[in-house]
Amino acid sequence: MRIPGFGLSGRVPILQHDNSGGKPHQLGILAFETARTMSRLVSLHLALSDAEITRLCCSMRSQGVAYLNSDNHGVLLRVACAEMIDELDAAAADIARLSGVAELPGPMGFQASDLEKKVKKMERYVASTSALYFAMKDLAELEAGERQRAEKWNKWAGADKVDPNSDPIRELINLQQDRVRRLREQSLWTRDLRKVNDLMARLVISLLARISAVFGAVVKELPPVTMRRHGRVEFQPRRQARFAHHHHPNGAGGIFFSGPLVKPAHGNILIRKSGSLIHCTSKQAAGAESWKTQALEPPHNSLGASGLALRYARVEAREELYWMLPVGIRSAVRRKLQGHWKLDDGRNPPGALATGWKEAVEGILEWLAPIARDTERWHEERSFEQQQLSAAPRVMMLQTLMFSDKEKTEVAIVELLVAFSFVCRYKQGEDEDEY
């Protein structure tokens, strides 16, 4: 089954509890993969809070995002919604892979009164499981070091002689083993796989409902949602689109949306006999997946489509950035420098010129640096090597250079490098005049 507008997320299994009285199946080594999925869900829950949604709307109004990406708030919110759905799809796939059991008749989320308490519980699980990972890593290093030291001692002193330094090291290992045992009891390691997956699956449903409530006014593909008693969630396909046009951030036309997100209409908007989970055809399912893919695809004239977003994000490392630029951009920098040099008649004092160019550098960096830093952070957070068990809200794609207009960004970078070059030149001239 799929929930129209949500793609894979609609197939989240809601686990049935085993009442046979058998021994619970502990997560064990799967605790670390489970904690990563859980941290992703908690991070998404925090990103959907009122405070974070307000912060996201503020970032859309920032000079860098508005100038380089789009001032069309409706389209930017569509990108944010698609990215959140994509995150939820990935988490749902992990849960399905870990469980692989039957579904209940309908999706169950958490009641509002229970949601925060369950999320806090998951945060504790993530923190303790992360601590367990590093504790086990430290223990493995201690034990490996002890084995190597013992082998060297036996080789040079003989197996019949007692190593006087073995007791303190053994004591450290025993203490670390106790810490690992304690953390296993506190973490996901000893938790029942079915219960943990049920906890995460119910949070997925609650997050689906929250996404639909927050973005339903600007994303026509999201179905209306109603929370029933005991956390039961009901979805319904939209009968008609609220907005007719959706374009990429750098495209012409489209809708314009500003101000707070519009709340969905109140009242009973469900067909009572439709069932708690809406069935849809394969064609509808394909459409539900395609809107997300289309929203997350950078337009052809963007840095993301050109593969230059991360390279151009290093604007604060200006010398390094220059040599990473395409040949055409470096030529533009040189031509602009030569043009300014020809206009410099040497009459103005170097100090005043340095101050003027410094103000130009600061003016550009004031709006370009934040979006550049967010681009680097966005890539780091999604790099496999950098992934941490962190439940903090993450940078959204709309805050990065992925959707930035390539021509506008390159013009800004050329201006920045030219201004910085003249700051260095006139600053050096000012220092020479002092001598």
In this prediction, residues 309-324 reach a mean pLDDT of 78
What are the tens digits of pLDDT across the range 211-270? 998 998 898 888 777 766 665 667 666 554 443 344 456 553 332 233 334 333 333 222
> Which tens digits make up the pLDDT trace of 134-183?
999 999 999 998 888 878 767 776 655 655 666 788 889 999 999 999 99
The per-residue pLDDT for range 395-413, each reduced to its tens digit, is 999 999 999 999 999 999 9
Q: Is the pTM of this model over 0.85?
A: no
Tokens standing for 267? Answer: 């009242």
Give the pair of three-digit tokens for residue 423.
């700051």
pLDDT in tens, 18-62: 444 445 688 999 999 999 999 999 999 999 999 999 999 999 999
pLDDT above 70 for 200: yes
- Whether the pLDDT of residue 10 is over 60: the answer is no
Structure-model confidence comparison of residues 75 and 351, the more confident one:
75
**What mean pLDDT do residues 342-349 have?**
61
Q: Amino acid identity, residue 407?
A: E
Q: Determine the pLDDT at residue 276.
A: 29
pLDDT score at 423? 82
More confident residue, 230 or 275: 230
- Rounded to the nearest 10 degrees, what angle do helices 31-47 and 73-99 cross at? 160
Is the pLDDT at 302 greater than 70? The verdict is yes
- Range 44-81 burial, b when 16+ CB lie within 10 A, else e: bbbbbeeeebeebbebbeeebbbbbbbebbbbbbbbbb
H helices of 271-387, where? 282-296, 303-306, 309-312, 318-324, 327-343, 350-382
The first and second tokens of residue 190, run together, are 């000893």
Q: Cα separation of 257 and 74, whole Å?
A: 5
